[in-house]
Amino acid sequence: MNTLKTVLLMTVLMVFFVFVGGLIGGRNGMYIAFGIAFAMNIFSYWFSSSIVLKMYGAKEVTEAEYPALHRLVRNLATRANIPMPKVCVMQSATPNAFATGRNPQHAVVAVTTAIMGILSEDELEGVLAHELAHINGRDILIGTVAATMAGAIMMLADMARWAAIFGGGHSNDEEGNNNPLGMVGMIVVSILAPLAATLIQMAISRSREYRADEEGGRLCGRPLSLASALEKISKGVAYHPMEEAKPATAHMMIMNPFSASGMLNLFSTHPPVEERVKRLREQARGMR
């Protein structure tokens, strides 16, 4: 069900992007939107992982430096039947972890120093199993494409806003190549399009997080360990949000690196931790 939902949401996001381009610039706008999306996705596919690792200062570590961490990752990779990913560590006081890479053959698992300090080995294994589930399910690529498309829609919205300000909101010509909405319509699109794109991206991210929790619990064999880890990480993030985190990459983390509550949770890239823990406990009861 989560996979079906993700495919549907990805399709909606891509169609919506081209649709917005058409609203802003007619037929030519659709062509331009498609070209922008294609170029941005190609760039993200090849370079996003290296950019993210540099952004967070994640350094690859050897087995001699972190033998227990390497052992856990290797055992889980063997169980998941995927190549051993690179292992990186981030110097951060915020407990968190993420996986990146365009496919399982070029995957990286990164954890913060804080997460290794507050979790037991069983809990850390649950977190790593969650991240390997992301790798095995190609969630990294899906999340990257979703974030790229959402970013492209926001860029189009900015173009529409500036076009409206400088008198670009004129009706379309005979071939339908200009903006068919008029100035007021362009302003409305420039406001609503980014909001809609963000909500769709959030829905995709939440769907993949639920799937990775379930697969991670099954991979490590102890869903309750992952549930306990999520509760500890949530408290750690609330106490010490990740200052170096960026909104564009928040969806990659196992827990939203920003402290959010109330209405802000509606726009979070991650499901509520209480619901994630509840599902993992139900999974544990089912396994027993």
- The pLDDT of residue 205 is 76
Residue with tokens 């570590």, as numbered in its chain:
61
Cα 89 to Cα 26: distance, rounded to the nearest angstrom:
48
Closest CA to 88 of 120, 50, 119: 50
- The pLDDT of residue 52 is 83
- Using DSSP's 3-state secondary structure scheme, residue 216 falls into helix
Cα 207 to Cα 5: distance, rounded to the nearest angstrom:
7
Longest Cα pair distance anywhere in the chain, in angstroms? 69
* Rg of the chain in Å (alpha carbons): 21
Closest CA to 67 of 78, 75, 58, 79: 75
Closest CA to 118 of 240, 217, 229, 277: 229
- Bridge partners of 163? none
- The pLDDT of residue 260 is 55
- The pLDDT of residue 249 is 75
- The pLDDT of residue 222 is 95
- The pLDDT of residue 140 is 73
Tens of pLDDT along 116-135? Answer: 999 999 999 999 999 999 99
The two three-digit tokens of residue 256, written as one number: 């939203």
- The pLDDT of residue 15 is 72
- The pLDDT of residue 243 is 80
Contact 112, 90 (CB under 8 A): yes
pLDDT tens across the length of the chain (288 residues)? 555 655 666 666 667 767 766 666 667 766 777 777 677 667 766 776 787 888 889 999 999 999 999 999 999 999 999 999 999 999 999 999 999 887 889 899 999 999 999 999 999 999 999 999 999 887 777 776 666 666 666 666 666 666 666 655 444 444 444 555 555 666 666 677 667 666 766 766 788 899 999 999 999 999 999 999 999 999 999 998 888 777 767 778 899 887 655 444 555 778 899 999 999 999 999 987
- The pLDDT of residue 28 is 74
Distance, C-alpha 222 to centroid of its chain: 24
Could you give the residue numbers annotated as active site? 131
Burial of 84 (0-12, 13-18, 19+ CB in 10 A): middle
- The pLDDT of residue 174 is 45
Closest CA to 145 of 7, 4, 287: 7
- The pLDDT of residue 216 is 96
